[in-house]
Chain A
C-alpha cells in the first residue's frame, strides 16, 4: 500500500485523516449496552415490588446506591460512574438478594461487588468474575442464614419485616417472622413440585428478580433483538440443563424433578439471561460461548441434584467465569487460510 520513503504523516494532504482499522463503528458502546440491560431489568424491578412489596424495593435501592457510591469513592474524577456499569452491577446484585435482607447487608454486598469484584482487578473490563455475583457470593459466605431466609410473596405492600431495618452489624430474628421455602428447597428437602404457572408469574418465594420467569424471558428476547448479548450462552445453558436433567428424569421420574421445573425454578433463567452473558467474564469466540454455557448448565444440574445446596446457579457461573480465559484460548476461530492446529506440517 505505502510506497517506499513515504511518511504517511507528511504525505497526507491537508484535511485528509489517515486512520488504522477498524473503520466501521457499530454504534454499540458501553453506556448503550448497559442502558439496554437496565431497560430489560426494569420489568423485573416492578415485579419485585409487586410480589415482595416495599422491603424489596428498599433492598434494590440500597444495593444500587451502594454500588454507585463505591465506584465514586474509589474512582473519583474519572467519570466511570457515567458508563452505568456500577448502577447495573448494583441492580443485578439487588435482584439476586432475598426480600427481607437487612439493608446494611445489602450495602456490604454492594461494597464487595464493586470493590472486590471489579475495582480490585482494575475496573470494568479487567474483572475475572461477574461483580454482582462476587458480591452475592461474599454475602452468602458471610451471612448464610440471612441469605437463605425467604419471605413469602404477596404480602401487603407496606408491611416491612423487622429484619429490614436491623442496625448495622446486628440482626433481628423476630420469632414471628414470616418465612417460607423456595420451590427448589421444597423440591430438594420435601420433594414437592411447584406448578409452572406460579413459577412463570413469579408468586413464589425466592430472590427478588428470579421468580418471574415470563418477564425474564421477555427481557432476554429484548436483549437478543438489540444484539446486546451473545444468545449462544443462554441457549447453551438452557439446552444443557434440559438435556442433562431430562436424562436424569427419564432414568428415575420419581427421584428427580422434571426438566421443565429445573428450567423455570430458582435463578436459572435470571442467571442465564443477565449474569452469564456479561461480555467481560464470558468467552467471545462463538465456540467458546457454547462450551461456556454448556459448562454452566451441567454444573447447575449437578449442584442442584447432588450438592448440599438447593440452588447452584451462582457457583456454576462463578466457576465458569474462572474457566473463561482458558475456554477463550482453546476456542479461537481459525483465521482464513491458516492451517489447523496440529496440522502445521501439512501446510508448510
Chain B
C-alpha cells in the first residue's frame, strides 16, 4: 500500500515507515495477540521480536524473489507455506538455544504463522516489490514491531517485577504491581502507549497545519493552535 503513498519508494523511506509512520503496533494495530500475550517481561519481548523479525524478513525475501513464479490463485497458500517454513526454523532454533524462553513463549512461537502482520506484508508489499525494497520494508516493519514489543515489555517488567531484563532495579523492598504482568496490565499499558502515540501524531499534524497556514500567503491564517 505504501508503494502508492506520497513518499518516493526508496530504500530509506520503506525502511523508516515501518519504524514510525506505519508502525505495525502503534499505527496499524496489527499483531495484537503476541503483543499482549508475551510482553510480561523484556526478555520475552525480545525473543518474540527476534523470532518475528527472522520470519518476516526471510519470508519477504523469498516471496519477493518468487513473486513472478507464484500463481495468483494460490498465492495465499504459498505465502503461508513459506512463512510456516521460517516459523519452524525459528521454533527449533529458539528451542535449542534458549529452552527457558521457548517454554515461556509456548504456543505463541508457532502462532507467528498466523500473525496478520506477516501475511499482510507479503500480500501488500513483498509480492509486488523488487528484492531491495521488500527487504527494506520487512526490516522496517519487523523492527517497528520488535521495538513496540520491547517498549511494552520493558514497562510491564519494570512495574510488574521491579526489574529490567532480570536485573533488579529497586531493591528487595519493591512492591510489585501484580496487575502489570497479568493480561489486564497488558491491555492497560497498550492503551496508554497508543494514547501517547495518538497524542504525538495529533500534535504534529496540528503543528504542520499551523505552519502551512502561516507559509501560504493569502490562505487562512493558522486556525488557532489549540
Contact = CB atoms under 8 A, between A and B. Distances in A.
A157 interface: no
Nearest to B177: A142
Contacts of A172: 173
Interface residues of A, number: 15
Interface residues of B, number: 16
B208 interface: no
5 shortest A-B CB distances, which residue pairs? Answer: A171-B175, A141-B179, A142-B177, A142-B179, A170-B173
Nearest to A143: B175
Interface in A134-153: 138, 141-144, 146
Contacts of B186: none
B170 A142 contact: no
A166 B175 CA distance: 10
Given A169-B170, A172-B173, A142 B180 contact: yes
B178 A170 contact: no
A138 B175 contact: no
B179 A138 contact: yes
Contact of B184 (A102, A120, A141, A170): A141
Interface string A66-109: 00000000000000000000000000000000000010010000
B174 A170 contact: yes
Interface string A139-181: 0011110100000000000000000001001111000000000
Contacts of A141: 178-179, 182, 184-185
B162 interface: yes
Interface string A170-195: 11100000000000000000000000
B175 A146 contact: yes
Interface of B: 162, 170-171, 173-175, 177-180, 182, 184-185, 188, 191, 195
A116 interface: yes
Given A116-B188, A120-B191, A169-B162, A144 B173 contact: no
A141 B180 CA distance: 9
Interface in A224-258: none
Contact of A170 (B175, B179, B191): B175
B175 A144 contact: no
B180 to A, nearest CB: 7
A143 B177 contact: yes
Contacts of B188: 116
Contacts of B173: 170-172
Contacts of B175: 102, 105, 143, 146, 166, 169-171
Contacts of A144: 178
Contacts of A166: 175
